[in-house]
C-alpha cells in the first residue's frame, strides 16, 4: 500500500525495507524500541531473541558512530512481542531526514503500533547529574530539516500522553527518579557552545542531542504512538567546567543501563496495552 504524501523514491525505499523486515520475521510486534548511544544493552533483556544484522536487511541505513551496534533484535519481553533497533543513523553522518526515519516508517508498515525512542543527551540543569533519565514530553526541532511530507502536518504532536503515563507510573512503582522535559534536537556533529546552550534553555529545552526528533515525527505520521526517554550522559557545555565528549556519553550510558533497562522491561506489558 502506498504511503500518502511520500515521494515515490522514498516510498519505494520504505517498501523495500518493510518487505525485508517481514521476510526476517518482523511481524505481530507490539512494541518497538530504538536504542541510542550506550543503551543497546537493553536488547539483552529480550527473550527468544533473534538477532538480525543490518547488513541482512535490504535498504537499512547503517551508522559508523561508536555505540550503535547495527543490529535488530526480535523476540519477547514478559510475553510481549518486541523488536529493538540497536543503533540509528544521524543527519550529521550525511544521511537525509528520509534516511534516518526509514526504519521507523518500515516498522509501521509491518504493523508495529508503538515505539519508544531513546537517546543519550546533554542536560541543561545542574541538578540533573549524568545518569539521570528524562521522559521526553515534547521536543524542539533545530535540525533544519523534517521527514514530513506536506500532508503530514498532523504529526506535530508526536509524544503520546498514554504511553508517557505508563512509563511515569512504572518509574514511580520502581521508586526510580524519572524527570520529564523537552528535548532539543540539533544537527551536530559538534557539541553545542555555551552560548547555544543558554539559547536552548531560553527556548524551554531541558536536554539536547543530535537525533530522535525526525524519528518521532515520522513515526507519528505513520500512525504509531510514540514515547521517548533520554539518558542524561553529560552536562551541556557551560553548565559546568567539564568538556563533553563521546567517550563519556558511552560510559555514562552503560552505567545507567541497568535502571534504564529495568524501567523499559517493566513497562513493556503495559505499553503493549495502550490502544
Residue 243: per-residue pLDDT = 67
Q: Which candidate in 210, 236, 267, 272 is catalytic?
A: 210
Residue 251: per-residue pLDDT = 75
Domain 8-271 = CATH 3.40.50.1580: yes
* Residue ranges in the chain modelled with pLDDT below 70: 1-4, 66-68, 154-156, 238, 241, 243-246, 249
Residue 183 annotated as catalytic = no
Residue 156: per-residue pLDDT = 66
Residue 24 annotated as catalytic = no
Q: What Å distances lie between residue 214 and 64, 95, 151, CA to CA?
A: 19, 12, 16
Residue 47 annotated as catalytic = no
The whole-model pTM stands at 0.93
Q: What Å distances lie between residue 87 and 5, 37, 67, 225, CA to CA?
A: 27, 7, 7, 20
Q: What Å distances lie between residue 60 and 53, 188, 219, 221, CA to CA?
A: 10, 22, 16, 20
Rounded-to-integer distance, Cα 171 and Cα 216, Å: 22
Rounded-to-integer distance, Cα 257 and Cα 263, Å: 10
Residue 244: per-residue pLDDT = 65
Q: Which candidate in 11, 211, 230, 259 is catalytic?
A: 211
Residue 1: per-residue pLDDT = 36
The domain spans of the chain are 8-271
Residue 211 annotated as catalytic = yes
Residue 66: per-residue pLDDT = 63
Residue 37: per-residue pLDDT = 81
Residue 92 annotated as catalytic = yes
Q: Which candidate in 90, 119, 257, 270 is catalytic?
A: 90
Q: Which candidate in 11, 18, 93, 119 is catalytic?
A: 93
Q: Which candidate in 97, 106, 120, 134 is catalytic?
A: 120
Residue 2: per-residue pLDDT = 42
Amino acid at each position: 500500500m502506498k504511503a500518502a504524501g511520500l515521494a515515490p523514491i522514498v516510498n519505494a525505499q520504505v517498501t523495500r525495507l518493510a518487505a525485508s523486515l517481514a521476510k526476517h520475521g518482523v511481524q505481530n510486534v507490539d512494541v518497538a524500541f530504538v536504542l541510542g548511544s550506550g543503551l543497546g544493552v537493553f536488547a539483552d533483556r529480550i527473550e527468544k531473541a533473534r538477532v538480525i544484522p543490518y547488513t541482512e536487511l535490504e535498504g537499512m541505513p547503517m551508522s559508523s558512530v561508536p555505540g550503535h551496534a547495527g543490529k535488530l533484535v526480535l523476540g519477547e519481553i514478559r510475553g510481549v512481542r518486541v523488536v529493538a533497533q540497536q543503533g540509528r543513523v544521524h543527519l550529521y553522518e550525511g544521511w537525509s531526514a528520509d534516511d534516518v526515519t526509514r526504519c521507523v516508517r518500515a516498522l509501521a508498515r509491518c504493523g508495529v503500533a508503538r515505539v519508544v525512542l531513546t537517546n543519550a543527551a546533554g542536560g541543561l540543569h545542574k541538578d540533573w547529574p549524568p545518569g539521570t533519565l528524562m521522559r521526553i514530553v515534547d521536543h524542539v526541532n533545530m535540525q533544519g530539516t523534517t521527514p514530513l511530507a506536506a500532508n503530514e502536518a498532523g504529526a506535530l504532536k508526536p509524544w503520546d500522553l498514554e504511553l508517557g503515563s505508563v512509563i511515569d507510573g512504572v518509574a514511580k512503582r520502581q521508586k526510580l527518579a524519572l524527570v520529564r522535559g523537552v528535548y532539543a534536537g540539533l544537527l551536530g556533529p559538534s557539541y553545542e557552545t555555551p552560548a547555544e546552550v543558554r539559547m536552548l534553555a531560553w527556548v524551554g529545552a531541558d536536554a539536547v542531542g543530535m537525533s530522535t526528533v525526525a524519528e518521532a515525527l515520522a513515526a507519528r505520521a505513520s500512525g504509531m504512538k510514540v514515547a521517548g526517554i533520554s539518558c542524561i550522559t553529560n552536562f551541556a557545555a557551560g553548565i559546568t567546567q567539564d568538556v563533553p565528549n563521546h567517550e563519556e556519553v558511552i560510559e555514562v550510558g552503560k552505567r545507567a543501563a541497568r535502571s534504564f533497562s529495568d524501567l523499559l522491561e517493566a513497562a513493556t506489558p503495559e505499553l503493549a496495552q495502550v490502544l
